[in-house]
């Protein structure tokens, strides 16, 4: 069983424990991720990630709220928060705390596989959520997109395997991401961004995810035509993520 299968197996067990009546009223004014990523130049979605299957512990005892504030100050257009606890060390409470501490959109990054996770996302003040095509069949992906729209949330649809390209093109999501991480081995290959760019819907906001470490990497994806980059591990590993983002943006401005 590869890492993705392990994660999804546990996630199904977690979803089974979610009670439909647990969340009460859906509250909060949604901040538009689409608008945040539509500015000229390449926008940064800065990620808060405590650990990962490929890296293990990344930044132990980190203060997510302080990191979020520093990301915003450094120029992030949006913040991504890992809410999976078992594999990534996150939580929904972190999502809420971060969102309440900044004024830019905050994305819930998790393995969203069931409609019950969408009102849960709103309850914890997420503005948007991630949908991973590689973790879903086509019907479920379409349904979760529809459910997200009904809840007033925006979403980033990402895929890793090129076999999903045709279906994603037909779906034409407003925000679509290419993740250059192999979900079976957890390794990254930045050349994948070039290979897949032409397969993306022309009207979508295009996000390059994973594998971006240097100003050269960021310039590469910008020159290819991506509108945004999601960067997490490389910032968190510096032990001073906000300063690292500031330096990265300063070197590419």
Q: Write down how long the chain is.
A: 253
pLDDT tens per residue across span 220-252: 999 999 999 999 999 999 999 999 999 999 988
Please give the average per-residue pLDDT across 107-124, as a whole number.
96
Q: CA–CA separation, 205 vs 207, rounded Å?
A: 7
**3-18+32-252: CATH number:** 3.20.20.70
Distance CA 112, CA 124 (A): 15
Token digits for 15? 């979803």
Q: Is this structure's pTM higher than 0.85? A: yes
Nearest CA among 37, 62, 34, 30 for reference residue 48: 62
User: Is it the case that residue 23 has pLDDT exceeding 60?
Assistant: no
Strands 51-52 vs 56-57: parallel, antiparallel or unpaired: antiparallel
Cα–Cα distance for residue pair 5/138, rounded to 1 Å: 17
| Token representation of residue 72 | 């915003």
pLDDT computed for residue 37 by the predictor: 98
Residue 105: strand, helix, or coil? coil
In this prediction, residue 29 carries a pLDDT of 86
**192-209, pLDDT tens digit by residue?**
999 999 999 999 999 999
At 4 the pLDDT is 87
The Cα 82–Cα 90 span in angstroms is 5
Report strand pairing: 205-209 vs 51-52: unpaired
Beta bridge partners of 17: none
> Which of 215, 23, 50, 216 lies closest to 118, judged by CA?
23
**Active site residue ranges:** 47, 49, 109, 158, 179, 209-210
């Amino acid at each position: 069983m590869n890492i993705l299968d392990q994660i999804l197996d546990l996630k199904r067990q977690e979803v089974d424990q979610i009670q439909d009546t647990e969340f009460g009223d859906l509250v909060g004014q949604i901040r538009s991720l689409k608008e945040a990523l539509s500015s000229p130049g390449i926008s940064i979605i800065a990620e808060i990630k405590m650990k990962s299957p490929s890296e293990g512990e990344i930044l132990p005892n980190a203060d997510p709220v302080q990191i979020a504030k520093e990301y915003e100050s450094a120029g992030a257009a949006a913040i991504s928060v890992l809410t999976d606890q078992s594999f990534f060390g996150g939580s929904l409470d972190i999502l809420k705390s971060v969102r309440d501490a900044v004024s830019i959109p905050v994305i819930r990054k998790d393995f969203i596989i069931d409609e019950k996770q969408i009102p849960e996302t709103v309850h914890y003040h997420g503005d948007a959520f991630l949908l991973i095509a590689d973790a879903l069949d086509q019907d479920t992906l379409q349904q979760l997109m529809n459910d997200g729209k009904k809840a007033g949330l925006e979403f980033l649809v990402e895929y890793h395997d090129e076999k999903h390209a045709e279906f994603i093109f037909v779906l034409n999501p407003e925000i679509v991401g290419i993740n250059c991480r192999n979900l079976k081995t957890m390794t990254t290959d930045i050349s994948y961004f070039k290979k897949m760019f032409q397969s993306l819907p022309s009207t979508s906001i295009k996000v390059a995810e994973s594998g971006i470490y240097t100003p050269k990497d960021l310039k590469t994806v910008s020159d290819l035509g991506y509108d945004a980059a999601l960067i997490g591990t490389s910032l968190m590993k510096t032990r001073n993520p906000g300063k690292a983002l500031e330096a990265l943006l300063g070197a590419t401005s």
